[in-house]
Structure 1
Amino acid sequence: MAPSAITETVPSTLVVKGGKESVATHGAEAVKEEKEPTPLEAISHGIVMPGIPTFPSYTSHRRHTLVHMAATFRFFARSGFTEGQSGHISVRDPEHPGLMWMNPLGRHFGMLRAGDMICLDIATGRVAGGNTSRPANAAGYLIHSAVHRRRGGDVHAVCHAHTQAGRAWSVFARPLDMLSQDVCSFHGQAQAVYAQYGGIVFGAEEGERIADALGPRGKGVILMNHGLLTVGATVDEAGFMFGLLDRSCDVQLRVEAAVAASGGALRKNIISDEEAAYNFRMASEANVLYREAQPDIEYELEAAGGEEALARGFESLQPLVL
């Protein structure tokens, strides 16, 4: 249950001239709000886990971002989120916020490295640098650029793919119920449904409608007859939230099937709005979601042979042209 304020009997504090404090105990009850720990402090027993890192230069920040982008793609591959040439991740450049990095069209997620990524101008789609030997995904550009333009203040990464559970649940054009502690990271306005289908996105209007559906506070949107899309302050967050959204679709499908098979003998117990809101507040903060992604990111780095293996080609990327 969400913790409440602690009521204590405390002495009142008087501030006098000269900035000194004198304490007078009047025997009155005063309410003292216990300082709530940050989400990372709350989950860490002992040493507090570090949050989103900082970097000494834009180059080191860009390298870290593209390495973690490649690791996120490999996590997608391991999770079975591939479907031919479909699916894409974009990340805003840390130095030039009008540019975004995307994966090349037609290269398997499980093979991607930092040196494969293409840099595009968000406003125009112009190739601004990076790996210029392969094309980007045109439909992907239209979707991602619309979201980046609309959410420039808080969204720096966007993930989209056509997953099994995501596509299956999307046909109902319904939001997910708060069936588990984990899915509460999509509580309230953090979850959206785009209840239209406009075909393969070859026009800017469809990307704008998807951005409309996501709204100003959405972290994930279920795209009817299409798939899933998530956003985040980091590619780590967006990637973790994508996996969570897909697994939550799978859980919902299993629960609905069990209820139907029971002929009404089973009923769903849904987490209350109060508890779901508390879970959301403590589990969906950007630093916590960055940390949530690290076990999978570190696994992919280890499986690939270390960070240097996924950074391969970074030094050879074409310079950015503004």
Structure 2
Amino acid sequence: MTTAEAESAEAAFLADTATGLPIPGEPVFATAAETRRHRKQRLAAALRLFGKYGFGEGISGHISVRDPEFPDRFWVNPFGVSFKHVKVSDLICVDGTGRVVEGKHRINPSAFVIHSAIHDLNPGATAAAHGHTAHSRALGSLGRLLEPIDQESAAFYGRQVLYGEYEGPSVSVDLGKDIARKLGDNRAILLQHHGLITVGGSLDEAVHWFFTYDSCAQVQLLAYAAGTPKTFTHEQAVAAGAGFGDEQLGWFSFQLLWDEIVAEQPDFLDE
């Protein structure tokens, strides 16, 4: 076999995507109403997944997705409803002033000040996920970000920031704007003494990054408890990040979680 033939044979099992994986493209809908319904279903699924995987902490934590028709509005989980019980019918739509324009529940003030600022200042942030998980809180208390110690953590190499300021619960509009500004175009912001926020160009992507960041925080805490982990070189981290940090891969990875929660808890789709 010639070199050219060998290269052709090797390429035969690779798909025509950035990662070489057979990942389909995101769905495209004909109307804003269809897009909205899709996003709301994904949002409700993500909230149930947060509940299933133990990301709930009382009233804390929220996930938002921008409305496809009205740029100044976003859909978010309501105040006081458990992640484990949220349905599509429970979701609320909030405008830029904090007014609930659709839905029967009230908005968590913290959800408004954080998510409204992120959606306003970062046009590329279609969705944002925030939670007070044990691993993110532990890592944040150390004043450390994820280090590139494995392929998954490399997805955040050069794409994360630590927010060290703390002035109490996030109910100030100015605080929300400051968090959004510090986040910038990064993928994740770790709030010291608080929790984690991840963003993405889709709800699916943002939530996948949240799951990955939290699991990476757990791995790093375990590694340092056992010794001193060896990190990637800069070149290795960049190479790993190009694969495991690919946006299309992030979007597709959520589809497996979607299939999981639809099979287990289909009642969340009630409208």
Same fold (TM over 0.5): yes
Q: Where does 1:157-196 land on structure 2 (aligned, <5 Å)?
A: 157-188=127-158, 190-196=159-165
Residue segments in structure 1 that go unaligned for 5+ positions in a row = 1-7, 9-35, 260-266, 314-322
Larger Rg: 1
CA contact (8 A) 1:185 1:284 kept: yes
CA contact (8 A) 1:39 1:283 kept: no
Q: Check if 1:128 corresponds to 2:106.
A: no
CA contact (8 A) 2:151 2:244 kept: no
Alignment match of 1:198 (pick from 143, 167, 170) = 167
Partner Cα separation in structure 1 for residue 214 and residue 84 of structure 2: 18
Partner Cα separation in structure 2 for residue 51 and residue 221 of structure 1: 27
Alignment match of 2:255 (pick from 289, 294, 307) = 294
Corresponding pairs, count: 259
CA contact (8 A) 1:51 1:288 kept: no
Amino acid at match of 1:311: L
Partner Cα separation in structure 2 for residue 271 and residue 289 of structure 1: 21
CA contact (8 A) 1:66 1:311 kept: no
1:117 is displaced (CA, Å) by: 0.7
Partner of 1:312: 270
Partner of 1:281: 242
Amino acid at match of 2:262: L
Partner Cα separation in structure 2 for residue 95 and residue 50 of structure 1: 25
1:37 is displaced (CA, Å) by: 4.6
Alignment match of 2:18 (pick from 17, 36, 39) = 39
Partner of 2:223: 255
Partner Cα separation in structure 2 for residue 202 and residue 58 of structure 1: 31
Alignment match of 1:230 (pick from 198, 217, 229) = 198
CA contact (8 A) 2:139 2:145 kept: no
Partner Cα separation in structure 1 for residue 108 and residue 130 of structure 2: 12
Partner Cα separation in structure 1 for residue 37 and residue 174 of structure 2: 33
Partner Cα separation in structure 1 for residue 67 and residue 86 of structure 2: 18
> Normalising to structure 1: TM-score of the pair?
0.77
Q: Check if 1:220 corresponds to 2:178.
A: no
Partner Cα separation in structure 1 for residue 215 and residue 58 of structure 2: 21
Amino acid at match of 2:269: A
1:257 is displaced (CA, Å) by: 0.7
Amino acid at match of 1:38: T
CA contact (8 A) 1:91 1:100 kept: yes
Distance 1:300 1:111, change over 3 A: same
Partner Cα separation in structure 1 for residue 143 and residue 178 of structure 2: 15
> Normalising to structure 2: TM-score of the pair?
0.91
Residue segments in structure 2 that go unaligned for 5+ positions in a row = 5-14
Deviations 1:87-129 (A, max 9, x none): 00110011222110011001111111111111011x3112222
Q: Equivalent pairs: percent with the same residue?
A: 33
Q: Where does 1:69-148 land on structure 2 (aligned, <5 Å)?
A: 69-121=43-95, 123-129=96-102, 131=103, 133-148=104-119
Instruction: State the SS of the aligned residue for 1:66.
Output: helix
1:230 is displaced (CA, Å) by: 0.3
1:284 is displaced (CA, Å) by: 2.4
1:176 is displaced (CA, Å) by: 1.1
